[in-house]
Amino acid sequence: MSATIALVDDDRNILTSVSIALQSEGFATRVYGDGESALKALSDNPPDLAIFDIKMPRMDGLELLRRLREKSQVPVIFLTSKDDELDEALGLAMGADDYIAKPFSQRLLIARIRAILRRTELVRSSVSPDEPDIAEPIVRGRLTIDPARHRVLWDGKTVSLTVTEFLILEALSQRPGVVKSRNQLMDVAYQDDVYVDDRTIDSHIKRIRRKFRVVDPDFDAIETLYGAGYRFGEE
């Protein structure tokens, strides 16, 4: 069954052109002209992936993401203005999986969509009913990661992560004490030669820390090694 992509943008030309391009690649699409009309539909019937323009009237993409994240971890790509680095950083900090600056290549957008959907499927299919021993839960002190259920616990309390955040945390926790460079984490989270910059990984790390500190204000298990990268603290 084809993946469903939701497009939310107040620019009808973008909605039409992107929708046609996605449909030609075999995707099903749902389109919305503003954040308010999209919110209930996306909450009640989440697509496989959503694409939000940031600057929209009535409810912008940042507010739409904030409210959607209260109910769903559906992967989200932001469309941003070319020079709007603040919007990009805010979007990633709030839990977006990726961003693309306008004007953008439809080929690049489709490559980013396919990369995120592959990561999502990788997490969902980590364990099959016939292979119960694959991807056993990772336990590192107070942390438990269950790839089969896309579930993360800290002291037994659930921490909800996006697919990208989940893969970054999983990579760090597999070898506590070992430093992972930003490039190594980008290879884990963004495969297939999809380009992202260092700031993207830094924003995801900040978001992961913030989510853990909701359940534990003293969380400090992810350490920054300036100039080198990040590591999950040894037990």
pLDDT digits (tens, 9 = 90+) for 139-157: 998 999 987 777 899 999 9
In terms of Cα–Cα distance, which of 200, 204, 171 is closest to 185? 171
Confidence (pLDDT) at 197: 60
> Is residue 109 located within the same domain as residue 217?
no
Contact predicate 182/198, CB 8 Å: yes
> Is residue 64 located within the same domain as residue 178?
no
Give pLDDT tens digits for 169-218.
998 998 888 999 988 888 777 655 455 566 778 888 988 998 899 999 99
> Measured between alpha carbons, how far is 47 from 21 in angstroms, rounded to an integer?
17
Measure the N-to-C terminal CA separation of the chain; round to a whole number of Å: 43
- Domain of 64, CATH number, reads 3.40.50.2300
| Residue at 87 is within a domain | yes
| Residue at 22 is within a domain | yes
> Is residue 146 located within the same domain as residue 210?
yes
Domain extent at residue 87: 4-126
Give pLDDT tens digits for 73-114.
889 998 887 556 666 666 676 778 888 888 788 888 888 888
Q: For residue 7, how many other CB atoms are within 10 A of its CB?
A: 22
Where is the domain boundary, 59, 93, 126? 126
Which pTM was predicted?
0.62
